[in-house]
Structure 1
Amino acid sequence: MTYIIYAFAAVFEISGCFAFWAWLKLEKPLWWLAPGMVSLALFAWLLTLVPSEAAGRTFAAYGGIYIAASLAWLWLIEARVPDRYDIGGALICLAGASLILFGPRG
């Protein structure tokens, strides 16, 4: 369930950030910021649903998911295929995220 929450959080974070990017870099209208802010609020709320005793650990583990989701965005939305270094780096990050989130704690 944690990975599902992280996946949805990543979609909302990337969408929200992209709205700001589009407004500033692609000269989209100002109203693009409204759904961007809603999306970022949903992202933050979703992270609170992750079962973890520490926000920092939750955010650190989420980083690996965010990286993989950003590369999916690159491919699916921006139509740029990630290269082998992108994929290899994402796999390393996902392994690290899993270790942070699910590693045994004393």
Structure 2
Amino acid sequence: MTVLRSVLLFVLAAVAEIGGAWLVWQGVRENRGLLWIGLGVLALGGYGFVATFQPDPNFGRVLAAYGGVFVAGSLLWGVLVDGFRPDRWDLLGAGVCLLGVALIMYAPRS
């Protein structure tokens, strides 16, 4: 149950961070305005809050592992929201990152 909770928190954190960054991008680069930027900033703050609920107490470990989730999640966001088509190297890189997440967060420790 702890692993499932951790994975769900990583997914929620990714939606908040990637979504927040996307909103800021849209507000600035696509001239959608201050409302989009403000919503993005709030979502980015939400990401920081969600990360604190990870069961592992080590900030460095959680944030290092989240980096891999961010890489894979960013590519997925691009596919779902922006019509991006990753190539095999994008997919391989994301897979390597997710393997790193699994090792960092869920490897047995003494």
- Band of TM-score, shorter chain: over 0.9
Q: How many residues align?
A: 106
Matched, 1:12 2:16: yes
Q: How does 1:21-36 map to 2 (within 5 A)?
A: 21-36=25-40
- Alignment partner, residue 47 of structure 2: 43
> Aligned residues: percent identity?
36
Amino acid at match of 2:54: V
TM (normalized to structure 1)? 0.93
Provide structure 1 residue ranges, at least 5 long, that are not aligned to the other structure.
none
Measure, in 1, the Cα distance between the counterparts of 2:53 and 2:98. 19
Deviation, 1:13, is 0.3
Measure, in 1, the Cα distance between the counterparts of 2:23 and 2:84. 19
Q: What secondary structure sits across from 1:51 in the alignment?
A: coil
- Report the RMSD for the aligned CA atoms in angstroms: 1.1
Query: Quick one: which of 65, 85, 89 aligns to 2:89?
Result: 85
Provide structure 2 residue ranges, at least 5 long, that are not aligned to the other structure.
none
